[in-house]
A and B are shown apart, each in its own frame.
Chain A
Amino acid sequence: MEKPMVKELVYGAGWYAEEHDGFQPFRWMGREAWLRLSLDPGKGERLIEIIAGHSFAPEKPKLKVFIDGREAGEREIHPAFSVYLFRLTGEGEVTINLTLNRVFHAQGDGRELGIMVRSIRVINLEELLEPLYGEGWYEWEKGEIFPFRWMQGEARLFLPFSWRKGYLLMPISSEYFNQKQILSILWKGKEIGRWPLLYQWNVYSLDLSELPPSGFSDLKPEEDKGLITGNQKLVPAEKENLFNRNDLKEAEVFSRAGSSEPIELIFKLNRLFPERYHPEDRRELGIRVGPISWHQDEERHRDILFFHENAVKNYEEMMAGKTVLTSYPTNLGIDLYSRCNVSPPCVYCLYDRMKILEGKDKDVVVDDQTLASYGPFFNAARTVVNCSFGEPLLHPRFEEILEFCASRGKIVELSTNGQAFTARTIRALLGKPIYLYVSLDAASAETYAKIRNERFNEIVSNLIKLNEERKKMKGLPKIFMVFMPMRVNLHELEEYFRLCQRIEADALVLRPLLYLEKPDIREERGGYLFDYEKELLSPEEIRKVISQAEELSRKYKIPVANQFEFGQVAEPGRSKL
């Protein structure tokens, strides 16, 4: 991250002693306060970043900042801790005065309280190496898939200068199913991106290579609402000459001209996530934005554009009740491998029947090349789900397939029996956006033996190993432990939650045992007669299991992904697992 360029920071009058809110330290500021910075001499633009909040919602006191007596801007301070940036001028000793338009009094506290300041630091924009979040972003939070920040209705983001020659990759989650929430991205007042946002998590790609160097822009900078405007370092003669040099890359031009101004973007939403869906969280919430990254892969950018355009059209066609579609599905089911290592098959598995149904296609090869050959069906997919009657981890090109899907930004869903974990398969899974559904259905070796075989303990120890390894790889793959409630395992639900805790699973998946009218499947295994028809639970029993699972989920803090609710939209504010 950019180096703080403060030699010394002295808090003057107007500050109370440091306190702690249970997460991090902060200081209360009264109506007026000052501080002194001793800055290293440095060229280029610098910002002072103040992270502040308060506990007097819904009030939004206004903070005015003066640097060496000159006003640097005014901001409304939200209750939740947020970032506020001000342009910093001067070198050496700099005095900063802060004033608030109002103060508050808390019960039992005689002090005059204004805002809580968590940190103050100086940022040199020319040394920016990663995105700098300005106003409009809340702090990082832990998400079901990855960490994210809530964005307010409007937010500001600075990107390193070097990112101009590439594409911005943003995972965004919207609560709007109807695509009516629109995100506009502005650069110097000009709209450079406008996306109707898709429901829940999706990746978006923004082309930054089209941005003209800011020094050359004939566009008027955003009217000063305290926002930073582009510098105008280049003299007109240089400007003309440089524009004619098409053979030079912009980056080179800029380094010659001695400018490396970062990209300042403004994000604007037309609609917020309505407060009535999050009554306990009074913050202004817009969208969730995951870790922002950068890439230079033009094909990937085009893929994402195609994906987005198709997903918008697919929704429109569905809502219009179209029966012949010009769009493609956003969820693609595939059949990776047709053989299984559990023999005889799991007691409830329809393996033998399926192999008859597969007929000659049983031996068809499905690999990374096959997926590529699906063309728009693959490109349009957000999720690729393996539904094979066969163990996918046994596929001879398992690594290549996962590598290919990850490189194309797909989320891969794999169901596994967990009996094919090897150093190779674990390595292939690590760090990739994969949802790994592990079908155990039992919390003890004894029950497991009644459904499958004697390998329960070996699987659990491999899962613990996988969990340790994935911690070093952004917590990926996600591990979802599958539990199909049946008579044989009904008594082990709570124990299964404990097992999930041990493995540090991301969720427990309640999956229905496939309903069959007259299954006629009976098998003696592990000293137990598994009679399919008798194992099926009644709707009343299923309701009981679900409510028990919800209770245990709260007790063990393991989320439940309830697949009995197939087809239902997640409650607003929650990700559907």
Chain B
Amino acid sequence: MENFEEDELGLKNLPLCREPWQSYYILRRGILPCCHGEKPIAPMSEWATAWNGPALQEIRRYLSQGKLSPYCLSSLGCPIVQKYLERKKQELRLAALSPQTRPRWMRLVNRLFLGLPARIYRSLQK
């Protein structure tokens, strides 16, 4: 038996989503790269070519760079996208609340107006 490394099962470092490599949907409404895909990427009859067509290539390219493609981000029914958007929303909220992340001029304005602009911004966020 060989010695084991830390991620010996290979469960880490997988793409954000594996569907565009492992799955393919040939449906009457069109070709979909996954079961949560919002818009078809090609008509049903083009199943033989759409597998390596420009739309799927772009989706794979984004995922291989650790990002979600515009196609994925428009497929709001996807639980991966939902989680991603929820996380992003939370990050934005935290960033808005954190004085360190604000630009210098905004901090200055804030100080001049006793923090009123930040309070208005936060209430709008809510």
Q: Using a CB–CB distance below 8 Å, which chain A residues touch chain B?
A: 153, 175-180, 270-272, 274, 277, 314, 317-318, 321-325, 328-335, 338, 354, 357-358, 361-362, 364, 366, 374, 377, 385, 387-389, 512, 514-517, 539, 563-567, 569, 572
Among B24-32, B91-99, B103-111, B112-120, the stretch in contact with A = B24-32
Q: Is residue B61 within 8 Å, beta carbon to beta carbon, of the partner chain?
A: yes
A364 touches B21 (CB 8 A): no
A354 touches B79 (CB 8 A): no
B24 touches A569 (CB 8 A): no
Most buried by A among B17, B23, B47: B23
Number of A-B contacts (CB under 8 A): 142
- Asked if A514 meets B77 with Cβ closer than 8 Å, knowing A322-B60, A358-B28, A364-B44, the reply is yes
| B28 neighbours in A (Cβ, 8 Å) | 335, 338, 358, 361-362, 364, 366, 388-389
- Chain B contact residues (Cβ within 8 angstroms of A): what range? 35 or more
From A325, A385, A515, A569, give the contact of B51 (CB < 8 A): A325
**1/0 contact string of B25-51 vs chain A (CB within 8 Å):** 111111010011000100111010001
Q: Using a CB–CB distance below 8 Å, which chain B residues touch chain A?
A: 1-2, 4, 8-11, 14-19, 21-30, 32, 35-36, 40, 43-45, 47, 51-52, 56-58, 60-61, 64-65, 76-80, 82, 86
A387 touches B77 (CB 8 A): no
Q: How far is the CA of A332 from the CA of B77 in the complex (A)?
A: 20
| B4 neighbours in A (Cβ, 8 Å) | 271, 274
| B64 neighbours in A (Cβ, 8 Å) | 321-323
B15 touches A318 (CB 8 A): yes
State how many angstroms separate the Cβ of B1 from the closest Cβ of chain A. 6
A569 touches B11 (CB 8 A): yes
B19 touches A153 (CB 8 A): no
State how many angstroms separate the Cβ of A325 from the closest Cβ of chain B. 6
Nearest opposing residue in chain A for B76, CB measure: A515
Q: How far is the CA of A334 from the CA of B17 in the complex (A)?
A: 20
B47 touches A374 (CB 8 A): yes
State how many angstroms separate the Cβ of B5 from the closest Cβ of chain A. 10
Q: How far is the CA of A514 from the CA of B61 in the complex (A)?
A: 26
B10 touches A328 (CB 8 A): no
8 contacts between A and B (CB under 8 A): A271-B2, A323-B56, A323-B64, A332-B25, A335-B29, A377-B24, A515-B82, A564-B79
